[in-house]
Structure 1
Amino acid sequence: MSFSYQGGHILLYHGVFSKIPSGLESRLHNVFPDEFKRQIKWLSREFEIVSMDEFTTAKDNRGLATITFDDAYADLFSYAIPWLVGEGIPSTVFINSNLVCGDIFWRDKVRFVLTEQLEEDFLTFFAQEQWTKKIRPERFYKDSKQPGLNSHLVDQALNVFFAERHLDQELLTLTKVIAKPSDLINDPLIHYGNHSASHYVLSSLKPDQQCEEIISCQNWLNKGKYRCTSSFALPFGGTQDADENTHALINEAGCSAILMSRQAVNRNQQKDPITELPIFERYMAPSTVDELIVLSRQLDQTL
């Protein structure tokens, strides 16, 4: 007996690397290309795959699915997206405008620290700073992105640490893992969306910093030649990763929906109580198609 899906599913991918870039081996969410292809073929058999905006405006998204990518890793544009276009399948890439324009993703710096086992060195280097008391070396990845710790501050500290350790070449390598504007594919099946300028935890920032993150990315998208979704993908996507200022600024930027990443699917429409913007749930695709089948059914049954 086939499984009958009752919810609308938004899948979230990050990397689709055939080989994980050096320095990012720790904690990068990656689905290898062959498995990615198998997952999408399975998804096509089980759901009607639609664009992001078709999904968010559907009166009933039961049986619908849409494919999203966060952070615009360069590998997407050499394998995953060209293959999707060839298959006639729509997808959406959520962009961090500062990163595609050349800044290094601060979470990739964190991954490098973890890969090279430099957590203790980093915390020792900043031992006189009060904010480091919030980061435990054994939970460096999670603690460094907590809402109570300003992400911009952590990012700047990572830059200082890399410079002190003379890791210039390693930083240069990290500049190559995120796509550049020239890499982005302009095709009717591909849409791009706002994921903030630098992928900081927005609720950790002051209101003016949040404004810069949300509005500047939207302005960058508006000036481009690309087809854009009106949905905003919240960086990290947890309940505590946004506050009242975040939601108000998303609304001010002209976005029509907020995407969370809370490992859930969609049936009953949620709305932000302040702005009335609809809220949709996403879940990260696991490593294999078998795991995806199990996860999708478990999440669907929890509705």
Structure 2
Amino acid sequence: MIDLLNRFQSHFSSHILLYHSTFTEVPNDLKEGLHNVTPESLYKQVEWFKKYFDIVEIDEIFSQDNIYGKVAITFDDAYQSVFTEAIPVLKSLNVPCTIFINGVSLSGKAFWRDKIRFLINNSLIDDFLNFNSSFTQLHKITSKNFYKITKSSNINSQEIDTLLDRYLEENKISIDNFCMKDIEYLRKNPLVSYGNHTYNHYVLSSLNKNQQELEIRKNHELLEKLNIKHSKIFSIPFGGDRDLNSTTIELLKKYNYRGFLYSKNAINIKNNRISDLTLPSKERYMVNSDFNSFQKQLFKLGLKGLIKR
């Protein structure tokens, strides 16, 4: 019954799927806190959508008048597993996807949210808090709220990343870069396009205007230089209402982006959504990790969407 009702969603909605990593087995340093869908589950989910929806590129969803029945597949953060395990799955199904990259990974530096996960999975939160006691006490960061508050718009993400680096360096701790390590990962593929997810994935609204522009421009220029298929849709890091502001929209317009993506766990039930900040936007949702919970998730999202119509 749930499956039948989920199929019916193609008549009144479009879906933008959000994936992050696709490890067959998640590394120990990332196990807690990482959104991961295995290649096997990815195949089942995408195969289901291919049967009942039209899977298209993300830019097409923004450019078409009627988007009902369409699905776009997106990956944020460009984890290595996306290139080694997810893309082969999508190629076997002959469906397109867009990978939103953080350019800092190409420098060899670990993704700052993976540094956060590393501390959590290695029981180092309290040690980090004590090492940076003045800052953490000022911002009321505790071991209980650590994961959530470190991505708050009220605390400058760049400052947190700097503190993380100082702590790791002082304690002679090295962290693997689990995201793309070099441009060899970004090989041309007609099914794959690449988009801007900022250079460091900081909470944009936590930054001042110059910092925001550097984050957007630096990654924009990197994508242009790489001579790869470049999406004109922008993926907002963390993707909530509080994670961007009017300055963000002003800068996206300056660099000629045609729209941006939220990540607020919702489907799209209207053909055009113009945000209050005057740039087209669409909703995405993080796909549940196994097929049964994925089907239940679709059902709940569909009901929520119908209520909002």
TM range (shorter): over 0.9
Structure 1 residue corresponding to 2:207, chosen from 199, 202, 205? 205
Structure 1-normalised TM-score?
A: 0.94
Are the aligned partners of 1:126 and 1:132 in contact in 2 as well (CA < 8 Å)? no
Instruction: Please state if 1:59 is matched with 2:65.
Output: yes
Structure 1 residue corresponding to 2:247, chosen from 245, 248, 254? 245
What one-letter code is carried by the residue in structure 1 that aligns with 2:38?
F
Instruction: Please state if 1:26 is matched with 2:32.
Output: yes
Give the distance between the partners of 1:46 and 1:146, measured in 2 at CA: 38
Structure 1 counterpart SS, 2:29: coil
Once structures 1 and 2 are overlaid, which stretch shifts more, 215-224 or 195-204? 215-224
Are the aligned partners of 2:139 and 2:155 in contact in 1 as well (CA < 8 Å)? no
What one-letter code is carried by the residue in structure 2 that aligns with 1:26?
E
Are the aligned partners of 2:14 and 2:69 in contact in 1 as well (CA < 8 Å)? yes
Report deviation, 1:13: 0.3
What one-letter code is carried by the residue in structure 1 that aligns with 2:72?
T
Structure 2 residue corresponding to 1:69, chosen from 62, 65, 75? 75
Structure 2 counterpart SS, 1:94: strand
Report deviation, 1:176: 4.3
Pairing of 1:174-193 with structure 2 (within 5 A): 174-193=176-195
What one-letter code is carried by the residue in structure 2 that aligns with 1:273?
D
What one-letter code is carried by the residue in structure 2 that aligns with 1:211?
E
Structure 1 counterpart SS, 2:218: helix
What one-letter code is carried by the residue in structure 2 that aligns with 1:51?
E
Uncovered stretches (5+) of structure 1, i.e. residues with no partner: none
Corresponding residue of 1:228: 230
Give the distance between the partners of 1:110 and 1:138, measured in 2 at CA: 13
Give the distance between the partners of 2:145 and 2:136, measured in 1 at CA: 17
Identity of aligned residues (%): 35
Are the aligned partners of 1:202 and 1:235 in contact in 2 as well (CA < 8 Å)? yes
Report deviation, 1:180: 2.2
Pairing of 1:152-167 with structure 2 (within 5 A): 152-167=158-173
Corresponding residue of 1:260: 262
Structure 2-normalised TM-score?
A: 0.93
What one-letter code is carried by the residue in structure 2 that aligns with 1:122?
F
Corresponding residue of 1:114: 120
Q: How many residues align?
A: 298
Instruction: Please state if 1:98 is matched with 2:101.
Output: no
* Alpha-carbon RMSD: 1.4
Instruction: Please state if 1:145 is matched with 2:151.
Output: yes
Uncovered stretches (5+) of structure 2, i.e. residues with no partner: none
